[in-house]
Every structure is written in structure tokens, then in C-alpha cells.
């Protein structure tokens, strides 16, 4: 969440940047400042009350020692009133602090200055494009028909076992899925990311720490009896490794990677755009996460973008990169680049990765700090990206690599799959 001192000192900037998200934040920001002033005023009054109570308590001890019992009892009665006052002030302080935090939880991150204005994905800015769109044979099929033809993914069986959005991968389809996961992890570890195997369930504090809660409750599967949540992305458990942590400046940067299944309750609407692997409730993803010094996070973001570029170019898939507009940028992100692969059989672009810099937004919730050169605690910057999300990468491979007599396997994956063609 945004830091209150930053809001107080940069009120006009915060309101102006949030307008990129099509939010008129003036009232919310005024309420934050007013609540903070109320909290600080109560805190000052409480501090003064406690100081007076402590001072009188010491004086009472001296009076009793001097035999001035009557004067001591008068002051003792006063300390009782001060204790009641401090109790009332503490309750008021907690209420003000809770109200302030509740309001801060509702305010998204302020977009970076480079984020374009806009309301929807149609307003995103294309910043890079690579690869030629292949020319397919006249009987080319979309991936869901290829999956059925070659018996590699069974959507009906997944629907029988669980419901729509839970596909079953079979035979060479399952091996290709596993090959992609291993390939992505290998590329990430070669780039210096440490591999982690992470929990698939997280507690409420973890969801709050990365900004999924309280903003995205409707998108997450909630295990109500234990108050745990199935993860929507490895970003949540991975970034929460560093919750309530004070790092040394020399520890930075930190990079981790991990493969997890991901679960999203609200997977989208019906229609061709969500057919097959286009939109799922359960899907596999390999994530990269970085903890960075604030002065180096944007160069790190560029490095993450170039890393994902390299993987897609090795797979020889046509792709483009979009800088998301304010209206399409996620709640916690300051700047996001989306990668999209072109699905030739569907004649449309499919998102396969989002790479984001959250600046201090997550770190403030997580209390993720480092000791800077002056020995003071400072909030770190957090970043994350998909490297990569499996379903649409797989869809792109199936569609773009199809031939009249089968589906070719990208050359870089063949040592992982053990076969060249489906």
C-alpha cells in the first residue's frame, strides 16, 4: 500500500497519477490525510497522558517515603483518572489506525510516469514486436481441435472430474507440458534465479502482503474452514518469503523462481476467447520474483523483460510486448509489460506473461525492508513476472507448429520431450 508520509508530502502527485487509472482520488486522499492527522493527534495526547502518569507515579513514591501519605493519596487518585483516560485514548488510537489502514487497502498503487492513459486493453501501448506469423495449411485447426485430434488434452474428462476450466493432459501432451516447465526453470536458474518449491495454499496475511487481498477475494478459491487460499500465482508465496524481514543492502538483489499450479476462481466469460486453454481455473506457471534496491528496480525490470524475450525467441513464437495503460494495470503494480504470443489458428494475440514493478507498494504491506548505507531501514522494491504461463504458450506451440501430418516440437524442447513431433 502507499506510505502515508509519501501521500502527505505528495498529495497532488498521488491524485494526478491515480487519475491515470481513471480514479478521482481527491476525496480518498483527503480522508487519508484527515485520518492520519486524527491518529497523530490522539497519539500525542496519549503520549502526554502516559508521561504525566509516569511522572506522578514517581512523585507518589517520594511522598510515601517522606511520610506525606495524604498528598500521596490525592495524586494516586489522579493517576487512576489518567489510566482511564489512557485506556480510552488507546481504544480511539486503535480505531483511527484501523480505519486508516482499511482506507489505504482500498487505494491502488500509483502508476509510473511512463504508463499511458487509457481505460481498457484497447488503450495499451505496443512497444515491441518480434517474429513472423507462420502461414498455415488450409486445414489448420485451433488448439482445442488439435488436442482432440491427437488425443493430448481432454477437456471433457476434466469437466467430468471437476468442471470447466480443469483440463486433463495426456500422453505427449503431458510430456510437452512437463518439458516446458523444466525448460523455463532451467532458463531461469541459468539467469541467476534460485529455484523454490512453494506451498499452493497461503494464509490471509500472505494474500494481503502481495495485494491479492482484500482486492481480489472473488478471484481466489477460499478454504473457509482453515481460512487458507489456493494461490492465483507463485508471486504470492514467493514474495511472502520476505514478509517481516530486514535484509542487508549487500543481500540485494534477490531473485527466485518457482513452478506452481495456479488457481483462479473467476476465469472469465463464455465464448471463443475462453475456449480450450485460453482461460482456465487451474493452470501451470513458472514465475520469477525479484527484491531490489529502489534505485535499481527499473533496470531490473528491463532485465526481466529481456529475459522473457529470450525465452520466447528461443521457442520461435511470434510475440509482442505491451505497456499497459492505467486502466488495465493491476491494483498493486506501478508499471506492467504484457507479452502476447500470436495464435495463428485463432488469428488473435494471447497473453503469456506479465512483468511488473510494484516499487514499495507490496514491501510496505509485507514490512520488507533493508538496512541502507546509513544504517536506516528502508523499504525494498519488489518485482515479478511470468516466465512463463503454460496454457497459452502450449496453445501457441500447438497452433503455430502444426503441419498437415502432425505438430512439430520446437527445437529447444526436443531434448526435454524426447520426441520431435506429435
Report d(CA 198, CA 331) in Å as an integer.
24
What grid cell was written down for 11? 498529495
The response to whether 344 counts as a known ligand-binding position is no
The response to whether 269 counts as a known ligand-binding position is no
The response to whether 57 counts as a known ligand-binding position is no
Going by C-alpha positions, the residue among 265, 262, 268 that lies closest to residue 283 is 262
What grid cell was written down for 225? 474452514
Greatest distance between any 2 Cα atoms in the chain: 107
Task: Report the DSSP beta bridge partners of residue 201.
Answer: 230
What grid cell was written down for 92? 480511539
The response to whether 365 counts as a known ligand-binding position is no
User: Hey, CA dihedral for 99, 29, 369, 215, is it positive or negative?
Assistant: positive
Going by C-alpha positions, the residue among 9, 4, 17 that lies closest to residue 99 is 4
The response to whether 4 counts as a known ligand-binding position is no
The helix, strand and coil proportions of the chain, stated in percent and rounded to the nearest 5, come to: 45, 20, 30
Report d(CA 186, CA 203) in Å as an integer.
29
**62 vs 48, 51, 131, CA distance in Å?**
21, 17, 85
The response to whether 204 counts as a known ligand-binding position is no
The response to whether 354 counts as a known ligand-binding position is yes
The response to whether 336 counts as a known ligand-binding position is no
The response to whether 227 counts as a known ligand-binding position is no
The response to whether 352 counts as a known ligand-binding position is yes
Report d(CA 117, CA 219) in Å as an integer.
26
A 10 A CB-CB count for 388 gives 26
Cβ-defined contacts of 169-172 (< 8 Å, 24+): 172/417, 172/419, 172/422
Which parts are annotated binding residues?
A: 233, 264-266, 287, 351-354, 384
Which parts are annotated binding residues for ATP?
A: 264-266, 351-354
Which parts are annotated binding residues for L-serine?
A: 233, 264, 287, 384
Amino acid at each position: 500500500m502507499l506510505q502515508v508520509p509519501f501521500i502527505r508530502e505528495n498529495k497532488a502527485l498521488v491524485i494526478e497519477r491515480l487519475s491515470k487509472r481513471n480514479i478521482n482520488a481527491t476525496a480518498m486522499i483527503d480522508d487519508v490525510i484527515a485520518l492520519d492527522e486524527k491518529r497523530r493527534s490522539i497519539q500525542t495526547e496519549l503520549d502526554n497522558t502516559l508521561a504525566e502518569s509516569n511522572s506522578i507515579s514517581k512523585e507518589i513514591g517520594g511522598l510515601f517515603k517522606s511520610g506525606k501519605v495524604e498528598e500521596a493519596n490525592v495524586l494516586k487518585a489522579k493517576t487512576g483518572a489518567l489510566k482511564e483516560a489512557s485506556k480510552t485514548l488507546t481504544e480511539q488510537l486503535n480505531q483511527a489506525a484501523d480505519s486508516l489502514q482499511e482506507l489505504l487497502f482500498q487505494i491502488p498503487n500509483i502508476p509510473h510516469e511512463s504508463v499511458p492513459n487509457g481505460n481498457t486493453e484497447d488503450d495499451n501501448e505496443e512497444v515491441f514486436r518480434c517474429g513472423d506469423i507462420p502461414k498455415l495449411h488450409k486445414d489448420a485447426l485451433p488448439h482445442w481441435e488439435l488436442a482432440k485430434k491427437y488425443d493430448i488434452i481432454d477437456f471433457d474428462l476434466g469437466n467430468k472430474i471437476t468442471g470447466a476450466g480443469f483440463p486433463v493432459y495426456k500422453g505427449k501432451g503431458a510430456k510437452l507440458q512437463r518439458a516446458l516447465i523444466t525448460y523455463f526453470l532451467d532458463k531461469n536458474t541459468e539467469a541467476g534465479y534460485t529455484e523454490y518449491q512453494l506451498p499452493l495454499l497461503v494464509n490471509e496475511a500472505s494474500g494481503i502482503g502481495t495485494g491479492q487481498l482484500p482486492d481480489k477475494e472473488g478471484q481466489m478459491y477460499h478454504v473457509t474452514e482453515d481460512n487458507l487460499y489456493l494461490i492465483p500465482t507463485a508471486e504470492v508465496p514467493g514474495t511472502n518469503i520476505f514478509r517481516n524481514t530486514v535484509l542487508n543492502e549487500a543481500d540485494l538483489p534477490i531473485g527466485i523462481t518457482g513452478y506452481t499450479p495456479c488457481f483462479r476462481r473467476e476465469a472469465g466469460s463464455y465464448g471463443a476467447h475462453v475456449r480450450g486453454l485460453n482461460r482456465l481455473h487451474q493452470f501451470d506457471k513458472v514465475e520469477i520474483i525479484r527484491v531490489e534496491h529502489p534505485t535499481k528496480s527499473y533496470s531490473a525490470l528491463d532485465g526481466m523483460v529481456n529475459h522473457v524475450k529470450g525465452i520466447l525467441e528461443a521457442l520461435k513464437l511470434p510475440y509482442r510486448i505491451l505497456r499497459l495503460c492505467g486502466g488495465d494495470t493491476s491494483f498493486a503494480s506501478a508499471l506492467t509489460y504484457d507479452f502476447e504470443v500470436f495464435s495463428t489458428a485463432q488469428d488473435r494475440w494471447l497473453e503469456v506473461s506479465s512483468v511488473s514493478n510494484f516499487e514499495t507498494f507490496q514491501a510496505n504491506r509485507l514490512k520488507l525492508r533493508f538496512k541502507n548505507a546509513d544504517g536506516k531501514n528502508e523499504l525494498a522494491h519488489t518485482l515479478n513476472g511470468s516466465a512463463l504461463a503454460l496454457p497459452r504458450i502450449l496453445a501457441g506451440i500447438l497452433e503455430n507448429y502444426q503441419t498437415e501430418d502432425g505438430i512439430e516440437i520446437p527445437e529447444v524442447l526436443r531434448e526435454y520431450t524426447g520426441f520431435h513431433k506429435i
